[in-house]
Each structure stands twice: as structure tokens, then as C-alpha cells.
């Protein structure tokens, strides 16, 4: 079979696509999967690491832009559809799966117009503008959170959970780490606000600093500053601009402090880890806060919005969780119960049914 996975822009979209592509290849090594994303998107940096072919379309962000820039973004859509149709004629896929992001809009519309089977996957609790629109035209809508049901036609929508890359499902890590380990993730490019809050929270951790270890993904621009601050404080810490081996750091951590993108929290749930979630306040439709609240309501995470984020509050929460291991364990167990490690398989099996029905 030939499959096109279209979308990107954020790590959450891209890694979801990679997890689904892996499952297509696992089901049949002869399956061919290519990606279609946006020009200059993050996908151009990540996908080559996984040896996937990437083709690009012109696409620009729409939401949050000025009126003029919104108009310019709309002008890119016809160009994207024209190029997408050329890709379809050349590649002749059996199915196109949109995973969110601006490039997926043009690709899925072109697929619909060409009469080829198409589906989308929505990772967040609150769908983005692109997927809300595309849900009217595709044959199937897969959703990562049950909270997304009201946004799509009921008969074509299937709750699957969010796919996680196979490398994160292999629980092989350093089990001999003695210190309580805190993993800090600000998203794929780090978060300056989380970096600053954590460094200022160090003073609240003085009495336990010799008993903790920190793994911190800072982003490139703050890496040196974060390294120096930990060194001066005497805290055992490793700082990375970007972490490639996420399975190792998830497995080695006792507590995770993270943004609330769908990809990150899905990985946290699969690993069954307790977390403090700090949603990015400018995410489209405030979906990160909605994602975080979906876990917080079920006792799987503590939510701390940026309005509430102070060094004192963050430090106190960390210290309280360090001292209350029973609460940590319960949070982790509840997080694991919310995960679906078989999400990619469910999606691929349903795609196979769609293709067989066509044939």
C-alpha cells in the first residue's frame, strides 16, 4: 500500500505521524509511507532522522495573525492544493491521513477532490481550525481525547488515543539511579518562562537539593544560562538543548514538569509518570490548558498555569511531591490508565478497512 501522512508544524503532530508510519511498516514492510508537510516546518528537521521522505507544500499559520497576514495565508491555500494534486498524481496513494497543521489542510482537500480515501487524526482536546474544517469531508476522524467528540460528526469519529513512537514503548532505561529525578520539558524548543521559574525555584529546594537530580531540556538559547545556574546552586543536573532519547529520560524520572502539548502528555501517560503541567498560554484555542485539565480532573497531574507560575509555588509543589511518594504513585497509576499504547494499531487497522472497502 501507498500512504501519505500530511501535516506537522509541531513535535506533537510530527511524532504522531511517525508512530502511525511505524505501525504501517510493522504491519507490512512493503507498505510505502511518505510525509507531506510545510516549507520550513519542524518536520524538515525531524523526519530525516527517521529516514522518511518529506515533500512540502506552501502553507502559513492563520490563527493569531493580523488581517493582512490572514489574507496572505488564505492565498497560500490554492497554491497548496495545486501542488498537492501534483503529488497525488505522481504518488497515487491508497489513502491520505492528515495529522493536523497547516499543510494538512491543502493536502486533505486535494485528496477529497481527487476521490481518494482520506482520514484525519486530532491529538488535542480542542481541535485546531484545520481539523475542524476537514472533519466535514474526510471518511474517518480519529481523536486522541474523548473531549473532542462534540467537534466532529459522531458517526465517522473514533476515539483511539494518541499514538506513541515504538521507541518509547520499550521500557529499557537506567534502573540504578539512586536520586529522585525531575525531568523538565518546555516543548521541543524549550520554554524560557519554565526555565526561569525552575531556576528561581531552586531556593525553595535547598533542604532537599542533595537528594534530587534534574534532567532539563532548555532549548538552545537558554542552555548555557541554565547550566550555570544549576552548577552555582550545587544541584546535580544535566541540561540539554534537545533530548533525542526520550525513552531513557522518561524511564529514569520520578516526576515530570512539562508543557501540555498532546504529544508530551501522551508520552507521559504511556510511561505512567506523575507530572506538573504548565500549559503554553498562547496555544490555539487554549488547547494546552484544556489538555492539562483533562488529566488534572482525573488526578493524573497537577496543573499550574503561567498566571499561577511563581518560583515559590513551583518549588513548594515539587517539595511536597518529593515528600509524598504515595501521592506520586497514585498520580502515575492514574496517568497510565488514561493511556492507550495500542492507538497506532487501532488507527492503521481502521485505515486498512477503509482501503479494502474502496477496493
pLDDT in tens, 347-356: 999 999 999 8
Residues 276-294, mean pLDDT to the nearest whole number: 94
- Give the chain's mean pLDDT: 91
Residues 242-265, mean pLDDT to the nearest whole number: 92
Asked if 332 and 154 touch (Cβ cutoff 8 Å), the reply is no
Predicted confidence (pLDDT) at residue 258 exceeds the cutoff of 90: yes
Residues 318-336, mean pLDDT to the nearest whole number: 97
Predicted confidence (pLDDT) at residue 65 exceeds the cutoff of 60: no
What's the per-residue H, E or C state across the chain? CEEEEECCCCHHHHHHHHHHHHHHHHHCCCCEEEEEEECCCCHHHHHHHHCCEEEEECCCCCCCCCHHHHHHHHHHHHHHHHHHHHHHHHHCCCEEEECCCHHHHHHHHHHHHHCCEEEEEECCCCCCHHHHHHCCCCCEEEECCHHHHHHCCHHHEEECCCCCCHHHCCCCCCCCCCCEEEEEECCCCCCHHHHHHHHHHHHHHHHHHHHEEEEEECCCCCHHHHHHHHHHHCCEEEEECCCCCHHHHHHHCCEEEECCCHHHHHHHHHHCCCEEECCCCCCHHHHHHHHHHHHHCCCCEEECCCCCCCHHHHHHHHHHHHHCHHHHHHHHHHHHHHCCCCHHHHHHHHHHHHHHHHC
- What pLDDT, on the 0 to 100 scale, is given for residue 73? 62
pLDDT digits (tens, 9 = 90+) for 146-182: 999 999 999 999 999 999 998 888 766 656 567 999 9
Selected residue with higher pLDDT from 170 and 211: 211
Predicted confidence (pLDDT) at residue 62 exceeds the cutoff of 60: no
Asked if 222 and 187 touch (Cβ cutoff 8 Å), the reply is no
Spell out the domain ranges in the chain.
Answer: 2-163+341-358, 170-338
CA atoms within 13 A on the CB side of 91: 27
- What pLDDT, on the 0 to 100 scale, is given for residue 357? 81
- What pLDDT, on the 0 to 100 scale, is given for residue 8? 86
Report, at the CATH architecture level, how domain 2-163+341-358 is classified: 3-Layer(aba) Sandwich (3.40)
pLDDT digits (tens, 9 = 90+) for 14-48: 999 999 999 999 999 999 999 999 887 889 889 99
- What pLDDT, on the 0 to 100 scale, is given for residue 266? 95
- What pLDDT, on the 0 to 100 scale, is given for residue 58? 85
Class in CATH terms, 170-338: alpha beta
Other CB atoms within 10 A of residue 89 CB: 10
> What pLDDT band is residue 128 in, cutting at 50, 70 and 90?
confident
- What pLDDT, on the 0 to 100 scale, is given for residue 4? 98
Residues 78-96, mean pLDDT to the nearest whole number: 96
- What pLDDT, on the 0 to 100 scale, is given for residue 140? 98
> What pLDDT band is residue 230 in, cutting at 50, 70 and 90?
very high
Asked if 275 and 301 touch (Cβ cutoff 8 Å), the reply is yes
> What pLDDT band is residue 72 in, cutting at 50, 70 and 90?
low
Q: How much is the pTM?
A: 0.90
Out of 100-104, 112-116, 285-289, 308-312, least confident range: 100-104
pLDDT above 90 covers what percent of the chain? 77
Give the C-alpha separation, 157 to 143, whole Å: 7
Indicate if 170-338 has the same CATH topology as 2-163+341-358.
yes
Q: In what order do the strands lie in the sheet with 157-159?
A: 53-57, 32-38, 2-6, 95-98, 117-122, 140-143, 157-159
Amino acid at each position: 500500500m501507498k500512504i501519505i501522512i500530511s501535516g506537522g508544524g509541531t513535535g506533537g503532530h510530527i511524532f504522531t505521524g511517525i508512530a502511525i508510519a511505524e505501525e504501517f511498516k510493522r504491519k507490512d514492510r512493503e507498505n510505502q509511507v511518505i510525509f507531506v508537510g510545510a516549507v520550513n516546518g519542524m518536520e524538515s528537521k525531524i523526519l530525516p532522522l527517521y529516514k522518511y521522505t518529506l515533500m512540502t507544500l506552501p502553507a502559513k499559520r492563520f490563527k493569531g495573525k493580523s488581517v493582512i497576514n490572514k489574507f496572505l495565508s488564505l492565498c497560500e491555500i490554492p497554491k497548496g492544493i495545486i501542488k498537492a494534486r501534483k503529488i497525488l498524481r505522481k504518488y497515487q496513494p491508497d489513502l491520505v491521513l492528515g495529522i493536523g497543521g497547516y499543510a494538512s489542510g491543502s493536502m486533505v482537500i486535494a485528496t477529497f477532490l481527487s476521490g481518494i480515501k482520506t482520514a484525519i487524526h486530532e491529538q488535542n482536546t480542542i481541535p485546531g481550525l484545520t481539523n475542524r474544517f476537514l472533519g466535514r469531508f474526510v471518511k474517518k476522524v480519529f481523536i486522541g481525547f474523548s473531549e473532542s467528540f462534540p467537534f466532529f460528526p459522531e458517526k465517522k469519529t473514533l476515539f483511539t488515543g494518541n499514538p506513541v513512537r515504538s521507541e518509547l514503548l520499550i521500557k529499557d532505561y537506567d534502573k540504578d539511579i539512586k536520586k529522585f529525578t525531575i525531568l523538565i520539558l518546555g516543548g521541543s524548543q524549550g520554554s524560557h518562562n519554565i526555565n526561569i521559574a525552575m531556576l528561581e525555584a531552586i531556593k525553595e529546594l535547598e533542604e532537599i537539593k542533595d537528594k534530587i537530580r534534574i534532567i532539563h531540556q532548555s532549548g538552545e538559547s537558554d542552555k548555557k544560562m541554565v547550566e550555570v545556574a544549576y552548577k552555582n546552586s550545587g544541584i546535580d543536573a544535566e541540561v540539554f538543548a534537545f533530548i533525542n532519547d526520550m525513552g531513557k529520560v522518561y524511564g529514569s524520572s520520578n516526576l515530570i514538569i512539562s508543557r501540555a502539548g498532546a504529544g508530551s502528555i501522551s508520552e507521559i501517560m504511556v510511561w505512567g509518570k506523575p507530572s506538573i503541567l504548565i500549559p503554553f498560554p498562547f496555544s490555539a484555542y487554549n488547547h494546552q490548558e484544556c489538555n492539562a485539565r483533562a488529566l488534572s480532573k482525573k488526578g493524573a497531574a497537577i496543573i499550574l498555569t503561567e498566571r499561577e507560575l511563581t518560583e515559590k509555588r513551583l518549588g513548594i509543589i515539587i517539595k511536597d511531591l518529593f515528600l509524598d511518594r504515595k501521592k506520586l504513585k497514585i498520580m502515575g497509576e492514574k496517568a497510565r490508565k488514561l493511556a492507550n499504547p495500542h492507538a497506532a494499531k487501532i488507527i492503521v487497522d481502521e485505515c486498512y478497512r477503509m482501503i479494502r472497502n474502496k477496493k
